[in-house]
């Protein structure tokens, strides 16, 4: 085991050199705090919320509002089905969790039930005299709740990632909450504004006779009165309830300028472009309302057919408002509103204290381990200490390569790795001592020590690695960070103990040819 070919030596040294190069961007920075441009790589490890400070938000998904919207949509579907099947009804409306209506002709109840089941089999229909009540089954509600939460998490991720922040931590909490941590973000106000809007955009035609009433009026059937801002003033818009086009068909939106004013350009996919072209072609000369979260943001007049599938939203925006609106439209609409139930901001000074404490703990741990190894194993302890330093460099290089986020538990994993990294060397050196005491020559004792300790080292590290993989698979947040750093540390220690330390000892033995081992 003490023979190393030139290729193997080159590979070991190349790995060590590469680790040093990958670690440099974490230490060599320019005046802006970014990795120096002359470095071959700019990959660095990211610091978590507990190390560099940042914002912590606990968001709650308002599923009741989402369910109410679904029930209102269900009412429209029921109305269409009842009319299609010529079933007389009165008092059709929506409650919090169900739709209800009364039959004019009670014997038509079975026919009405069949018509409703044609819409979907997800409903539970109950009768109370002449009244029918339609609600979602419990299993369907559970599926809807789960889907709404997962969709909300994905859209939150898109919105946060586009703000320029790095490595947000987004996790599910229970059945209706989302945990959001954004390291480095000290002012969360803009983030809260982005997350506080559902960004549901729809396009509507406006009332043909009175599209811009000066004051609040009572809307007629099929109409809805909405408000909006026009040059900083409140304005009323009378729009048709029917959604002509949905923002879900958008594929891109960007903030830009038109006539020196910030605007938002948008583009539909092929399906949206066809619908947009048909709408504008058949409604030339009519006003067209663009509604975002229940407010009219723009109500231009259609001057000519727009067949390219793209358009401009102008609403007296500031530059920041235009950028935020474009971001919201790109990320997509939240299926349900989000409510901030808990908010915390961790200051950078507290994070720096954690970093200083972690660095101090790592240095103290390394020094104590190095002193122990030097006292008990002499020159071999020096080789072990060098391997330990390389082990730390390998860990930092791996974390930088993967762009991992280092947290306080991650530092704990590194400190633990320092102690574990010398375990393999201790096993090897003690085995070598035994072989020396049994009368073997230095070269033979060293060869035998490495060979016999290898299986024990491999078994111990593999079992620990399995435990860390389970922590990563079933843990969350800080537990995952601890598991990642510990796993990387175990693999790095296997490399340094079995290959690097052995290479240094083998090189020293062949050059010095000692008659007695300094151990």
pLDDT digits (tens, 9 = 90+) for 82-102: 888 888 989 988 887 889 999
Percentage of residues of the chain with pLDDT beyond 70: 95
CATH superfamily ID and name for 6-53+347-512? Multidrug efflux transporter AcrB transmembrane domain (1.20.1640.10)
pLDDT digits (tens, 9 = 90+) for 445-490: 888 888 888 888 888 889 989 998 898 888 766 787 788 888 998 9
- Look up the pTM and report it: 0.59
- List the chain domain ranges: 6-53+347-512, 54-169, 199-333
Phi-psi sector, 285: left (phi>0), alpha (psi -120 to 50), beta: left
Sign of CA dihedral 359, 361, 365, 367: positive
Whether 169 shows a pLDDT value over 50: the answer reads: yes
pLDDT digits (tens, 9 = 90+) for 324-355: 888 777 777 788 888 888 888 776 665 677 77
What pLDDT, on the 0 to 100 scale, is given for residue 165? 46
Q: What is the dihedral angle through the alpha carbons of 162, 163, 167, 170, rounded to the nearest 10 degrees?
A: -80
Top-confidence residue, 187 or 176: 176
CA-CA distance, 376 to 382, in Å (whole number)?
A: 11
Tokens encoding 87: 């079933």
Whether 121 shows a pLDDT value over 70: the answer reads: yes
Percentage of residues of the chain with pLDDT beyond 90: 13
Average the pLDDT over 165-178 and give the result. Answer: 78
The third-level CATH classification (topology) of the domain covering 199-333 is Gyrase A; domain 2 (3.30.1360)
pLDDT digits (tens, 9 = 90+) for 130-145: 889 999 999 999 998 9
Architecture of domain 54-169: 2-Layer Sandwich (3.30)
Q: Residue 164's pLDDT band (boundaries 50, 70, 90)?
A: very low
Whether 197 shows a pLDDT value over 80: the answer reads: no
With b meaning 16 or more CB within 10 Å and e meaning fewer, what string describes 115-148? Answer: bbeeeeeebebeeeeebbbbbbeeeebeebbeeb
CA-CA distance, 358 to 346, in Å (whole number)?
A: 17
What pLDDT, on the 0 to 100 scale, is given for residue 178? 92
pLDDT digits (tens, 9 = 90+) for 254-271: 888 888 888 888 888 888
Kindly report which listed range (75-89, 116-130, 298-312, 336-350) carries the lowest average pLDDT score: 336-350
């Amino acid at each position: 085991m003490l023979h190393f070919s030139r290729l193997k030596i080159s590979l070991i040294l190349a790995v060590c050199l590469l680790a040093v190069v990958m670690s440099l961007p974490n230490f060599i920075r320019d005046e802006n705090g970014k990795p120096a441009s002359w470095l071959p790589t700019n990959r660095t490890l990211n610091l978590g919320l507990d190390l560099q400070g940042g914002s912590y938000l606990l968001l709650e998904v308002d599923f009741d509002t989402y369910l109410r919207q679904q029930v209102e949509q269900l009412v429209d579907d029921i109305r269409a089905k009842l009319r299609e099947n010529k079933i007389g009804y009165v008092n059709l409306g929506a409650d919090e969790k169900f739709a209800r209506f009364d039959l004019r002709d009670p014997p038509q109840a079975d026919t009405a039930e069949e018509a409703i089941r044609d819409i979907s089999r997800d409903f539970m229909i109950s009768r109370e005299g002449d009244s029918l009540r339609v609600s979602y089954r419990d299993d369907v509600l559970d599926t809807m709740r789960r889907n709404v939460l997962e969709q909300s998490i994905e859209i939150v991720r898109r919105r946060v990632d586009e703000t320029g922040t790095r490595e947000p931590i987004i996790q599910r909490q229970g059945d209706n909450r989302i945990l959001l941590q954004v390291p480095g973000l000290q002012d969360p106000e803009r983030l809260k504004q982005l997350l506080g809007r559902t960004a549901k955009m729809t396009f509507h035609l406006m009332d043909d006779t009175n599209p811009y009433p000066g004051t609040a009026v009572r809307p007629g059937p099929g109409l809805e009165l909405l408000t909006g801002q026009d040059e900083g003033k409140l304005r009323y818009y009378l729009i048709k309830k029917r959604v002509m086009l949905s923002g879900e068909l958008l594929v891109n939106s960007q903030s830009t300028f038109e006539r020196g004013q910030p605007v938002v350009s948008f583009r539909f996919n092929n399906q949206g472009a066809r619908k947009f072209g048909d709408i504008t072609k058949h409604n030339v000369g009519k006003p067209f309302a663009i509604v975002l979260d229940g407010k009219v943001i723009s109500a231009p007049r259609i001057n000519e057919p727009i067949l390219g599938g793209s358009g401009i939203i102008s609403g007296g925006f500031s530059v920041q408002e235009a950028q935020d609106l474009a971001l919201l439209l790109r990320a997509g609409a939240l299926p349900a509103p989000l409510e901030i139930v808990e908010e915390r901001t961790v200051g950078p000074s507290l994070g720096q204290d954690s970093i200083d404490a972690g660095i101090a703990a790592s240095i103290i741990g390394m020094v104590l381990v190095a002193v122990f190894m030097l006292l008990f194993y002499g020159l071999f302890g020096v080789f072990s200490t060098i391997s330990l330093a390389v082990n730390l460099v390998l860990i930092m290089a791996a974390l930088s390569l993967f762009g991992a986020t280092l947290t306080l538990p991650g530092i704990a994993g590194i400190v633990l790795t320092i102690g574990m990294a010398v375990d393999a060397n201790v096993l090897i050196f003690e085995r070598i001592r035994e072989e020396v005491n049994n009368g073997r020559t230095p070269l033979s004792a060293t060869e035998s020590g490495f060979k016999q300790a290898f299986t024990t080292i491999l078994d111990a590290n593999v079992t620990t690695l399995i435990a860390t993989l389970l922590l990563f698979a079933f843990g969350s947040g800080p537990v995952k960070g601890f598991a990642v750093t510990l796993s990387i540390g175990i693999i790095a220690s296997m490399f340094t103990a079995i290959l690097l330390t052995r290479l240094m000892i083998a090189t020293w033995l062949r050059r010095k040819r000692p008659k007695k081992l300094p151990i």
